[in-house]
Amino acid sequence: MTTAPAMAPDPLEVLAEVFGYGSFRGPQAEIVGHVVGGGSALVLMPTGGGKSLCYQIPALCRPGTGVVISPLIALMDDQVAALRQAGVRAAALHSAQGPEQAQAAWKALRSGELDLVYLSPERLLAGDCLDRLAELPIALFAIDEAHCVSQWGHDFRPEYLQLAVLAERFPTIPRLALTATADGRTREDIRQRLRLQDDRVFLASFDRPNITYLVREKEGPGAQLQAFLAPRKGEAGIVYARSRQRVDRLAQELAAAGFDALAYHAGLDPQRRSAVLERFRRDSGVIVVATIAFGMGIDKPDVRFVIHADPPAAIEAYWQEVGRAGRDGRPAEGITLYGASDLAWALERLRRRELPEAIAQTQAHKIRQMYAMFEGTVCRAAAVRRYFGEIDADPCGQCDLCLHPPQSIDATQMAQKLLSAVHRLGGRLGRGRLIDHLRGVTKAVNEHEAAMSTFGVGRDVSAAAWRDLLDQLMFEGLLVEHANDGRPLVGLGEPVEVRAVYRGDRRVDTRRAPPGQEATGGSARRRRGGDADPVDGANQGLFDALRGWRRAEAARQHVPPYVIFHDQTLADIAASRPTSRDALSAIGGVGRGKLDRYGDSVLEIVRASG
Ligand code: ADP
Ligand code: ZN
C-alpha cells in the first residue's frame, strides 16, 4: 500500500479548527494564500483589522516554525498566551524573561516543537541567533509594526533597519511586513529597507466602521473630559495626554471625581506600570490616563473609547491610537480635543529635535495635515482614509461632521486681507498685534503702520473671528509662526498656496459650529458596524455567569480573560444556548483547542442556567 504524501493543511480548515472562525476578513484570504505559496509581501491593515492571522495561519500551514519579530514585549506574551489557549505551540524570546525560559524556548524550537516563535528585534540580531535560526526549518518571517523601519513614519526604531539582513540570509523564506500605519512615502521606505520592492503590497481598507469619531476644540480639558466620561462609567477606555505631568493631573482629577482612573507613563517604576496594565487587562471598566508610552502593546479587544485630551502626533498616530478602541468589532468611540496652541507646541517640539531639514519639513507637513482634518468640514473617517490613499472613501455617516455638518462660510476675502497684511508687515508682528492692525486699533501703532493700506481693513470683523481664521490658515500652512524668544511672529507659509488664495484660485472656508451641538454623544450611540449591546435582557444572567466563570479561569491560569473567550463569543453563547459540543463549536471564536479545554464547563453553565 502506498501512503499519500502528507497534505499541507488547508487555511480555511485551520481558521475554523484552530481559531473557530468561519471566514476570512477582507484581504486575509488572499494574503494567507500568497504566503502559504511562498510569497513575500507588505500588508497594510488598520489596527484591529486582523493582521495576526495573516502570518499565524501560514505558519501553521507551511513546514517549519514561523518567526514573528515584534517590538512589543507585553504584546508578545499575550499573543503567545492566546495561541496556547487555541492549542498552537508558541513561545517568545525576549529580554524580559529569565534564562530558563529562554533555554526552554530554544530547546522546543530546535526539536521542531514550535509552530510560532515571537522575538524582539534586539534578540534576533544579538549573538548567534541568526546562525542558529539558519539551521532550522523556518516557515516564514513576520515583521510586525514594520513602519518602525522608516524615519518618515512616527515611530522610528534604528534596530529595525538591520532587519534587511533577513532578505540576504534567508532569500527563499517568505517575509511578511505588517503595519497599521503608513502613508505612501513610508510605505515605499518600508519596501526598500526590508527589500520587498519586487513583492506584493496588500492594502486593506482603513475603514473601522464600528468606531465613531468626534473632534472638539479644547475649552477646559478637565471639565470636557469629565463630561465625556460621565455617561461612559463602567467602560474600559484610554485617555491620552501629552506629558507625564498632564497625565498625573488628569488621572488625579478623574479619580477624585469617582472614576476608576489610573495614570501610566514612562516615569513610573516598572512594577507600577505592569500593575496598571494588569488591572486594565483583567478588570472591566478601568480608565488608563497615559502618554503614548501606553498602547503599542495593548490588544485588549473591549476598549470602548480612546480619548485624546491632547492631540496625537500625526494622522498615522491618530488612527493607530484610536484604533485601539473596539477591536472586538462592537461600537466604540474616538474623541479628540485640540487647540491652536497644541499646533504651536507640536511644531516647537519638532524644531527642538533638530532633525535633518527634509525630514523636519515632512513632519511639519504631517502635523498640519492632521490639524486640517480636525478643522475640516467633511467626514473625519473619509478624510483619514483619503490620506491613506483610499481615494473613493465614502462618508461614514456617524462622525460628528457627518451628523452635524458645520455651516461653512466663504472667508476667501478675509483671508486675502490677512495674508496681505502679513506680507506688508514683513512678518514682524505676533498674533495679537496683527489682529489689532487688521482692526485698526491705534494703541502702540507708529505712523508708518497706521498709513499702511491694510491698517484697519478688518474693522467690521471681531477679534475672535480673526483669531479663528488665523488658526485655520496656520493649520492649512498658509501662515506660519516663527519662534522669537517665546513670542512667535506670524509669517507667510507655502508661497504657491498663498498666491493661489490671492488670485482667488483657492477658496478658504471657515466653519461655524451649529449652536447647541452636544459633545457627549451618550444618547445617540447607534453605529454603522457594531452590534448594539452584546446581550439583551433575557440572556444577561447567563452572560454574567459565563463572565464570572471566565474571570475565575483567567485568574487560575494567570492570563487575561479575553485570551480565553472574547465578550462577543460569550454573548453569542448566552444568546444561542448551545446544548451540544457541535452547537458550541459553531460559535465564532470556539476552535478545537478551546472546545476541548472549556466545552464541558461552558455547556454545564448553560445547562445550569436552563
Ligand atoms: P491587528 O493585529 O490587525 O490589530 P488582530 O490580529 O489583533 O488585529 O485582530 C483583531 C481581532 O479580530 C482579534 O480579536 C481577532 O481574533 C479578530 N479576527 C481577526 N480575523 C478574524 C476573522 N477572520 N474572523 C473573525 N474574527 C477575526
Ligand atoms: Zn463621517
DSSP class of residue 331 equals -
Query: Measuring from each residue's beta carbon to the nearest atom of ligand 1, which residues come in under 6 Å?
Result: 21, 24-25, 28, 45, 47-53, 299, 301, 327
CA 179 to chain centre: 10
Q: Is the confidence at residue 78, as pLDDT, over 80? A: yes
CB 564 within 8 A of CB 598: yes
Of 53, 72, 202, best ligand 1 pocket probe by most atoms within 8 Å of the beta carbon: 53
Question: Which of 261-275, 387-401, 515-529 comes out lowest in average pLDDT?
Answer: 515-529
Mean pLDDT of 163-176: 95
- Answer whether 0.75 is exceeded by the pTM: no
Q: Classify residue 428 as exposed, middle or buried by CB count within 10 Å of its CB (0-12, 13-18, 19+).
A: middle
CA distance 305 to 235: 8
- pLDDT recorded at residue 484: 63
Cα–Cα distance list, 220 to 50, 261, 339, 370 (Å): 37, 19, 11, 21
Residue nearest to atom 13 of ligand 1 (CA): 50
Length of the chain: 610
Distance between Cα 113 and ligand 2 center (Å)? 48
Q: Is the confidence at residue 514, as pLDDT, over 70? A: no
CB 15 within 8 A of CB 65: no
Q: pLDDT digit string (tens) for 596-610?
A: 999 999 999 999 987
Q: Is the confidence at residue 595, as pLDDT, over 70? A: yes
- pLDDT recorded at residue 408: 75
Q: pLDDT digit string (tens) for 446-503?
A: 778 888 888 888 888 888 788 878 877 877 778 887 766 556 788 898 788 899 998 8
* Residue the block writes with cell 503567545: 80
Mean pLDDT of 128-132: 94
User: Measured from the CA of 45, which atom of ligand 1 is nearest?
Assistant: 3
- pLDDT recorded at residue 131: 95
Q: Is the confidence at residue 526, as pLDDT, over 50? A: no
- pLDDT recorded at residue 153: 65
Query: Greater confidence, 486 or 182?
Result: 182
Cα–Cα distance list, 310 to 16, 131, 222, 292 (Å): 42, 46, 11, 11
The alpha helices in 356-491, defined as continuous H runs, are 357-375, 380-387, 400-403, 412-424, 431-439, 447-450, 463-475
Ligand that lies nearest to the alpha carbon of residue 328, given by its number in the listed order: 1
Query: Greater confidence, 97 or 190?
Result: 190
Residue nearest to atom 9 of ligand 1 (CA): 50
CB 397 within 8 A of CB 528: yes
Q: Which residues contact 564 (CB under 8 A, 6 or more apart)?
A: 85, 550, 553, 554, 557, 594, 598
- pLDDT recorded at residue 6: 61
Distance between Cα 374 and ligand 2 center (Å)? 12
- pLDDT recorded at residue 523: 36
Q: pLDDT digit string (tens) for 231-258?
A: 998 899 999 999 999 999 999 999 999 9
Q: What is the CB-side half-sphere exposure of residue 146 using CA atoms within 13 A?
A: 33
- pLDDT recorded at residue 296: 65
- pLDDT recorded at residue 527: 43
Q: pLDDT digit string (tens) for 424-446?
A: 888 888 888 899 999 988 776 77
CB 399 within 8 A of CB 383: no
Q: Is the confidence at residue 362, as pLDDT, over 90? A: no
- List, in sequence order, every residue forming a beta bridge with 211; answer none if it has no partner: 332
Phi first, then psi: what are they for 466, rounded to 5°? -65, -40
Residue nearest to atom 20 of ligand 1 (CA): 50
C-alpha cell of 494? 507655502
Q: Which residues contact 198 (CB under 8 A, 6 or more apart)?
A: none
The one-letter amino acid code at 71 reads P
CA distance 360 to 73: 30
- pLDDT recorded at residue 530: 45
Confidence band of 77 (pLDDT split at 50, 70, 90): confident
| Residues of the chain above pLDDT 90, percent | 50
Confidence band of 104 (pLDDT split at 50, 70, 90): very high
Q: pLDDT digit string (tens) for 402-411?
A: 998 877 778 8
- pLDDT recorded at residue 534: 57
